[in-house]
Amino acid sequence: MLKVSGLACSRGERRLFTDVGFSLETGEWLHVQGSNGAGKTSLMRLLVGLSPADAGEINWRGEPTPSLEFRRDLIYLGHHAAVKEDLTPLENLRLAAALDGIAVDERAALAALIRLGLRGREDLPVRVLSAGQKRRVLLARLLTRPAVLWVLDEAFNALDVGAVQLLGELIAEHLAAGGMAILTSHQPLPVPGGKALVL
């Protein structure tokens, strides 16, 4: 489904990586590893189509990306909070879905927030939540937005032990349902199997 070959990226004068290639099929996940500054985030941004590659090809379902189909199948959660501080978790979740052209009713959004352990916080402005809770609000999008490919950049940061376990379960469920995931993390991840890519 996802086929990447000969990918190269440089920042200014510095070559970050060259000739990166891998392929992912349904139910598989890729763990991107590397020291700080190795280019993990650059690789992720390149894969989702936020920045152009110096060289190489990315094909999704046999078609070069970025295509509309790819964006429909993709969910990317990066370093940023990507939630609005002045809105409540519930509003954040439903408006983010609405911008993607998906209608999420209040009940579905609430169920996602409860699964992420935010029961009782759904009507507070995100501003007053802790860093880990903000992260959970963002992660709730994984449940409300149907997507095949999850690209999660350092998604395990700021999460407590329980939430790390929970995210591991969510990813495992997603893979079992025929999804795919690309993750970066410095910690060992609580998800079985997986290919490794070291930059």
Partner 1 sequence: MNALLATVRRDILLALRRKSEVLTAVFFFVIVTSLFPLGIGPEPALLKKIAPGILWVAALLATLLGLPRLFAADHVDGTLEQMALSPSPLGLLVAGKILAHWLLCGLPLVLLAPVLGLQFDLDASALGILTLALLLGTPLLSLIGAIGAALTLGVRGGGVLLALLVLPLYIPALIFGAGAVEAHIAGLDIGGHLSLLAAMLVLAAFFAPWATTAALRVALE
Report the interface residues with partner 1, using CB under 8 A. Answer: 48-52, 68, 71-72, 74, 76, 78-87, 91, 95-96, 98-101, 103, 125
Between 3 and 84, whose beta carbon lies closer to partner 1?
Answer: 84
CA distances from 2 to 16, 39, 47, 62, 159 (A): 22, 20, 10, 8, 29
Q: Report d(CA 171, CA 173) in Å as an integer.
A: 5
Between 134 and 174, whose beta carbon lies closer to partner 1?
Answer: 134
Amino acid at 157: N
Q: Report d(CA 164, CA 168) in Å as an integer.
A: 6
Q: Report d(CA 74, CA 63) in Å as an integer.
A: 14
Between 79 and 119, whose beta carbon lies closer to partner 1?
Answer: 79
Q: Least distance (Å) from partner 1 to the CB of residue 149?
A: 11
Q: For residue 186, what are its two tokens?
A: 């410095």
Q: Least distance (Å) from partner 1 to the CB of residue 193?
A: 26
182 strand-pairing partners = 30, 151
Between 99 and 128, whose beta carbon lies closer to partner 1?
Answer: 99
Q: Least distance (Å) from partner 1 to the CB of residue 76?
A: 5
Q: Least distance (Å) from partner 1 to the CB of residue 40?
A: 16
Between 11 and 119, whose beta carbon lies closer to partner 1?
Answer: 11
- CA proximity to 57, closest of 7, 10, 16, 8: 7
Q: Least distance (Å) from partner 1 to the CB of residue 198?
A: 25
75 strand-pairing partners = 150
